[in-house]
Every structure is written in C-alpha cells, then in structure tokens.
Amino acid sequence: METIENEVGKPVKKRKWKKITLIVLGVLLVIGSILFFIVNAFINRSLAQTEGTIELPALREEVTVITDENGVPHIKAENAHDLYLAQGFIQAQSRMFQMELSRRQASGTLSEVVGEAVVDQDKYFRTLGLRRAAKQSYAVYSDEDKQILQWFSDGINAYISQAKANNSLPVEFMLMGTVPNKWTPIDSLTIGKYMAFDLGGHWERQAFNYYVRNNFTKEKAYELFPGYPENKPTIIDEAEVDIAESFAKAVIPHTFNGSNNWVVSGKKTQSGMPLLANDPHLGLATPSIWYQMHLESPEVNVSGVIFAGVPGIILGHNERIAWGVTNTGPDVQQLYLEKRNPDNPQEFLYEGEWEKAKVVEEPIHVKNGDTIEYEVVVTRHGPVISEFANESAQDTVLSLQWTALEPTTELAAILDINRASNWKEFEKALENFLVPAQNFVFASKDGTIAYKANGKIPIYKNGDDALLPLKGWQKENDWKGFIPFDELPTVINPEKGFIATANNKIIGDEYPYHISNVWAQPYRYERITEVLEAGADLTVKDMMALQMDQTNLQAREFVPIFMEALEGVELSQTAEQAVKLLKNWNFKDSVDSPQPLVFHRWMEEIEAILYEDAIPEDVMDLFGGKGQTTDKILRQGNESVWIQDNGGMQTVLHQALQQALQPLTEVYGNDMTSWEWGNYHKVQFYHPLSAISPVLEFFFNREDPIPVGGSSVTPMAASYDPETGIVDHGASWRFVIDAKNMKTGYHIVGPGQAGHFKSEWYHDQMDDWVEGNYHMTITDGMEGAKLQLTP
C-alpha cells in the first residue's frame, strides 16, 4: 500500500491519513456546529419576547400585549401608569439599539462609543444644544406629563436591567463594545428635538444666499434666490464670513424631508365619511424611524406610529378622530452676523454695547482617545455655529436663533391629541405643539375635515429679511414675536371637499405674515389635487393608489419645452432615440420604463452644467431647494443669466443630454428600449452597522436592493443617491383610514417593525413598500401572540 511520510519522516499509510483527515474534519464540523448553535442561541436571546409571561415589579396591575401578524404590539393596561411603562418596555425590546443611537446622535455623544470619526458631528450637535433645549423644555412640562415621561423611562430601564442580567442585549451593543445607560425623560425629549432638527431647517439656504451674494453679480446671485425679492437685500461688506470653511462639516438634513397628506370630505367618498391619508417622507433605513403601536387603557384607545424612544402616538387615529402631518417648512431659523469684541472673545456687540455671551462647557469623551474640552459660545440670539469645526478668532461670526432651541411642549400636545374626540379638542391640543411647524390634516367621525399649519413661526418685519444672515448688533433685526395661534393658516370643511398638502406653498399674497421663502417643488401637490378634484365615490383603495402614484408632472411640464428648444439641432443617433422615447412617454416614473432614466439623468446634467464649475462642492451642500431654483431658471430659458453664461438654452440642453446618455449607454447598452428605470433606481433599507464589514452587511441588510418606481417629484416619493441610484428617502410610513370605521387603519412601515435581524418582522415589508401592499391594523378583537406583563 502506498505510504506518505509524517512530520518526523516516519511512513504513514495513505488510508490511515485519510481516516485522520476525516476525523479532524468531523471534529471541526462538530465544533463549528456547536459554535454556530452557541452564537445562534446567544443572538436569539435578544429577540423580543411576544408570548408567555414577563414579570415587571413596577407594574400595578397585569398588562396584556397582543402582537399581531405584522409585528404590531397592542398594549392593553388598566391605568395610565402601566400603559406607558409597558410601552417603554415593549419599544425597548424591539428597538433598544436604535434608541441608543438616536439619543447619542441628538445629544452629541456618539464619540463615546464610535470614536474619533464622529467627533465633528458631536461638536455640531453639542453646539446646537438639542439636549440643552430638551432640559429647558422638561422644566416647563406639567407634573402629569413629567410623570408619563418617567413611567415610560421606567419601562425602558426595566428592559435594560433584565437584558443586562440575562446577557440578552441586542448583538449590536456587543459589536460596538458598549451597553446602554439608564434612560431618562430628557433622552425622550432630546429625540423629539432631533426631529425638529430633521424637519425645521433653513439656515443653510441663508448661508448659501450669503455666499452667492458675495461671490456673484447681483443679477446672477438674485437668480439663485428663492424668488425675486422686491426689496433686494444688500451685501454686508464690513462683515465677511467664509461660508465654505465655516460649514464644511455641518450636518445638513436631507433636502427632500417632507411628506404628503390629504383629507377628503364624505361628499366625495363612497362611504359618505371622510378619508384621510398620510405618508411622511424621511430617511429610509433599518430599522424604520417609526414604530407602529396600539395603546389602550380606560383613558385612551389610540393606534398609529411613534418615534422609538418617545411615549404616546404621534400620528394615527383613535376611535373618533384621525390625523396626519407634513412639514410646513417655515423660516424658523435665523443666522445672525455677530461682531466680536477684539479684546474679549466672549463679548459681542448689541445696540452699541459689548454684551457678554454665555459659555457652555461641553466636554466630549472619545472612545480610545482623550477627552476634548469643548466650549459652546451662546449669544443673545443663540449658539455660534460658524466655528464648531475649527478654532477661530474672527471678529465676525455667525450665530443661530431657532425656535427649537427654546422650551417647547410637543409631548403634551401628543398626549392630548391621543385623547381628543373632535376638532375643537384637537385644535386645543395643538397649542402645545410648537416645533417643528407642521401641516396637520384632520378627519373625525362626525364628518369634519380640517387643516392647520401649526407651530411657532417667527414674525419678520419683512419676508426678505429671512433670505440672508442679519446684523445681530442691531435690535431692529430681532424677531417681532410669533404668529398668533388663532391666526395660523386654518381650513375647516372647505367647499371643494378636500384638503391636501405636500410641502407646497400654503398661503397666498393676502396672508399678513411671512411663512417661508422656500417651498417644495409643486409637482406632488399638483398631482394629488388633480386626482382628488376629479375623484368621486373615493375609497381607501383609491387613497392607496394615490400614495403609490408615479406620475411625474415635472416631466410633463418640461419635456415639451426641451423638445421645442432642441428643434433644428443635429442630434446623434443615440440622442434621436432618446428624444423619440420622451415624445412618446406617459410621464410616469415606472420601474420598467426607460424614459425616467433618461429624463432624471438629463436634469442632473443640466444642474451640473449650470452650477458645478461656479459653486464649490461644500457650498452646494447648503443649496437647499436647488430643484425649485433650477425649475425657475429653465422656465426663464434664454432670459436667465445662468443659461446665457453657459451658451443659451439650446446649448445647455443639448450638452446635458449628451452627457447624460454617454454613461447610460456604456452601462445599459445601445438599445434604449431595453433600459429600465429600476435597473438604476432601487431601494435598500441599510442598517447603520452594515457598512462596517461584508459579514455584517450580509446579516443586517438581508435583501438585495429592489427595483422601484417613483422619484422625488412623484406622489410616490422615492428620492435617491445620484451616485448609486439607491433610494434612501421616501415614505417612511404610509397610512390610510376611512372615518366610517375608525377601528381599522391601513399601514406600511418599511422595511418592517422589528429591529432584530432574526425577527420575522425585520424586513418583511420591503416588498410591500415597493408594491403598495398595506396591512390592516384593528383596535378591537386583535389576534396574535399573547404576552402577559405581570407585577
């Protein structure tokens, strides 16, 4: 028999060697299986418990939690204390890691667990002071509201204590090398302030306007302003601030943060009762920004969604009313140029006197690094934000005044809304909802439909004042108070039979107060009203179809204009094919059509030609509402100085079309009829840790990106990263309800309810999000897994 030599040169029979190899492989397989079993068992320990019994000693009575087939917990308690304690516990079971990241991001403490990479981000949020504002807000809440916040926190802390004792925290905590600290009411309020940050900004556009006004001719600068102000603001020659350097590392909310909502009177519906629809547009990620819940006690029976880490239900319905919101987008942030005393950097000029600023110590603890001794300087207007990323001794700096940095009481409003039974009670509750300013639509079982643009909106002496940073040393530039609550835009039971909003301009010239200079492009709103005006005998299914509508009214407006401008131009064979396709387009951003791919890439190249060489990349990040400005320039055509400087309308369009088509043909081939929007435009809900390694990406992202229709200008909002085509922004929650049956709502929470990657509800709504498959949630007679929380 053949032999081989072993390590010491002694012969070993080949058969025996094979046997040894098989034994070793068998042992390794067993060890691997055991390790897999151990790891799997460890990971499974952190899955949310939905059946059986859990003891919570802080409870006063037993609480029942039914988790339905879509992962929605229905919590039934005998008193408010137990209801909110249970809500905190159940949220933490499913979303504790998300809650931890949320409070750290908003508080500026991510460096403690991530390290040096996020120091600048922490500096920015420490400078803004969302947590400081949350502490000030807590002080003005009623004792009853503070008690609810504490009960909710007690529930979260009960979960944290049990998970630490059982070694069952989500695996993400192990990967980050941390454990959650005790939850406090301030954490919940800080997360609320973060949502105001995500939805309430416009200081970036003021900074951008300041830059272009200082770097271009008046004519060219004002063309980039949102509208042509009658009283054109003047350049502040004596106060130069380097915008690009000051804000290069600022955290800028997504340009397309917005939403759709509408409410339809019973005279236009099949049921004879109002229909309400809402789909807030926010960042798309795993887990969802929303957590759907149903809360029931003797005082309240409310269903809908809430931000993980916050008590109550912020959007949804109870047995009598339903409501939804979109972002109003008012000018609630104002940059002020502040003159610093050259002899004392902590003093700033105001009405001819040097005024001492407040200095706040904000030490930043860095994982595996030294603590950074960081100071925030706060003037009478607000924190100095132009120096957060670099030390400076400039004599002029920029501070930020913002309504969200003042004490506000949104949680009180949410809790009162949850208990409201009619428009009068609902509107009364809105008096406490101050930031962010939102467009609320309302429907009730008594047939009322209504709308209010609600929030704390500053009064400007002149709307043009909100276009640029103002001189902080002059009292005349201070806000003149706030629009009185009773004078905020309000509509009740309009004759046309519906009310809709989509971040569009909400007031006409007759309204006595300034709201905003920058509104969303009107296309979503126009399409929604087009459908609702024509509709009769409307149903829940019609509302769902409208939320999924992919009609592109921007293309319907501009494609004919582009075709006319290109007449007589000698086009390449590829461009001819593109033009022919666009002429025969139904103007729907359908997933399987080539035209959306051509049109959207064409628009991107038009913007590149207009702005890329003229405006630095860092400054472009501050160009909020850029699409609105581009539309305006294209409507002006050859009258626009930006068009003129780039060779005229025909030249711009022709060059942009060529630039768009070349890379498309390289990727998708010469046969344009085979191109599909969905080959490029795909959705993925990324987990925050998935980018660390391919292994984590495999586990946390679960699914491949899915081709999807729609775009940023269609009612089915699906904004994407131009570099990758990945949809990262859109309807974070979809909701429809018929007031005839207030016990039943229809929802989509993409990508799913659970935060645990092994849960059946982790990514189970991804396809539903793409296809528009809603799940029904009822508030009576629920079936599902039953969990008893016992004292």
Can you give the three-state secondary structure of 528-541, one letter per residue? HHHHHHHCCCECHH
Instruction: Determine the residue type at 452.
Output: K
Query: How large a percentage of the chain has pLDDT more than 70?
Result: 92
Strand partners, 462: none
Q: What distance in Å separates the CA atoms of residue 771 and residue 774, rounded to the nearest whole number? A: 9
Task: Report whether pLDDT(710) > 80.
Answer: yes
Average pLDDT over residues 713-722: 96
Task: Return the pLDDT at 647.
Answer: 98
**Residue 335 per-residue DSSP state:** E
Q: What angle do CA 98, 418, 716 make, to 5 degrees?
A: 60
Q: How many CB atoms lie within 10 A of CB 407?
A: 14
Quick one: tokens of 356?
């001492």
Contact (Cβ atoms closer than 8 angstroms) between residue 370 and residue 497: no
The mean predicted confidence, pLDDT, of the chain is: 92
Residue 700: Cβ-neighbour burial (10 angstroms; 0-12, 13-18, 19+): buried
The residue written with tokens 């008046």 in the block is 218
Residue in 105, 102, 289, 327 with CA at minimum distance from that of residue 202: 327
Task: Report whether pLDDT(584) > 80.
Answer: yes
Average pLDDT over residues 622-640: 95
Which of 304-308, 525-529, 780-784 is least confident? 780-784
Average pLDDT over residues 609-617: 96
Residue in 620, 598, 600 with CA at minimum distance from that of residue 610: 620
Q: What distance in Å separates the CA atoms of residue 24 and residue 442, rounded to the nearest whole number? A: 69
Task: Return the pLDDT at 23.
Answer: 55
- What is the SS3 assignment for 177? coil
Q: What distance in Å separates the CA atoms of residue 50 and residue 327, rounded to the nearest whole number? A: 35
Task: Report whether pLDDT(1) > 50.
Answer: no
Q: What distance in Å separates the CA atoms of residue 494 and residue 266, rounded to the nearest whole number? A: 12
Tell me the angle at which helices 143-166 and 185-199 cross, rounded to the nearest 10 degrees: 100
Average pLDDT over residues 527-534: 98
Contact (Cβ atoms closer than 8 angstroms) between residue 285 and residue 72: no
In this structure, is the dihedral angle defined by the CA atoms of residues 58, 60, 62 and 64, taken in order, positive or negative? negative
Instruction: Determine the residue type at 171.
Output: V
Instruction: Determine the residue type at 598.
Output: V
Q: What distance in Å separates the CA atoms of residue 276 and residue 448, rounded to the nearest whole number? A: 11
Instruction: Determine the residue type at 295.
Output: L
Task: Return the pLDDT at 461.
Answer: 86
Average pLDDT over residues 571-591: 97
pTM comes to: 0.93
Which of 91-105, 329-343, 385-399, 426-440 is least confident? 385-399
Instruction: Write the pLDDT tens digit of every residue in 145-193.
Output: 999 999 999 999 999 999 999 999 999 999 999 999 999 999 999 999 9
Q: What distance in Å separates the CA atoms of residue 200 and residue 136, rounded to the nearest whole number? A: 19
Contact (Cβ atoms closer than 8 angstroms) between residue 736 and residue 746: yes
At 665, give phi and psi (nearest 5°): -70, -35
Task: Return the pLDDT at 390.
Answer: 63
Task: Return the pLDDT at 257.
Answer: 67
Residue in 91, 73, 295 with CA at minimum distance from that of residue 785: 73
User: b or e along 167-194 (b: 16 or more beta carbons within 10 Å of the residue's beta carbon)?
Assistant: ebbbbbbeebebebeebbbbbbbbbbbb
Task: Return the pLDDT at 427.
Answer: 98
**Residue 234 per-residue DSSP state:** P
What's the chain's length in residues? 791
Q: What distance in Å separates the CA atoms of residue 357 and residue 762, rounded to the nearest whole number? A: 48
Task: Return the pLDDT at 217.
Answer: 93
Residue in 452, 477, 341 with CA at minimum distance from that of residue 401: 477
Q: What distance in Å separates the CA atoms of residue 752 and residue 780, rounded to the nearest whole number? A: 22
Contact (Cβ atoms closer than 8 angstroms) between residue 776 and residue 69: no
- What is the SS3 assignment for 168? coil
Q: How many CA atoms lie within 13 A of 186 on its CB side?
A: 13
Q: What distance in Å separates the CA atoms of residue 297 and residue 784, rounded to the nearest whole number? A: 19
Q: How many CA atoms lie within 13 A of 670 on its CB side?
A: 3
Average pLDDT over residues 368-389: 93
Task: Return the pLDDT at 16.
Answer: 56
Instruction: Write the pLDDT tens digit of every residue in 27-86.
Output: 455 444 444 444 566 789 999 999 999 999 999 999 999 999 999 999 999 999 999 999
Residue 253: pLDDT band with limits 50, 70, 90? confident
Task: Return the pLDDT at 38.
Answer: 47
- What is the SS3 assignment for 49? coil
At a CB cut-off of 8 Å and minimum separation 6, what does 602 contact? 562, 656, 657, 660
Q: What distance in Å separates the CA atoms of residue 496 and residue 264, rounded to the nearest whole number? A: 9
Strand partners, 788: 53, 64
Average pLDDT over residues 547-570: 97
Cis status, amide bond into 751, omega within 30 of 0: yes
Query: How large a percentage of the chain has pLDDT more than 90?
Result: 86
Task: Return the pLDDT at 39.
Answer: 57
Task: Report whether pLDDT(200) > 90.
Answer: no
In this structure, is the dihedral angle defined by the CA atoms of residues 569, 571, 576 and 578, taken in order, positive or negative? negative
Task: Report whether pLDDT(227) > 90.
Answer: no
**Residue 340 per-residue DSSP state:** E
Task: Return the pLDDT at 624.
Answer: 87
Residue 8: pLDDT band with limits 50, 70, 90? very low
Average pLDDT over residues 465-494: 96
Average pLDDT over residues 455-465: 91
Task: Report whether pLDDT(548) > 50.
Answer: yes
Average pLDDT over residues 358-366: 97
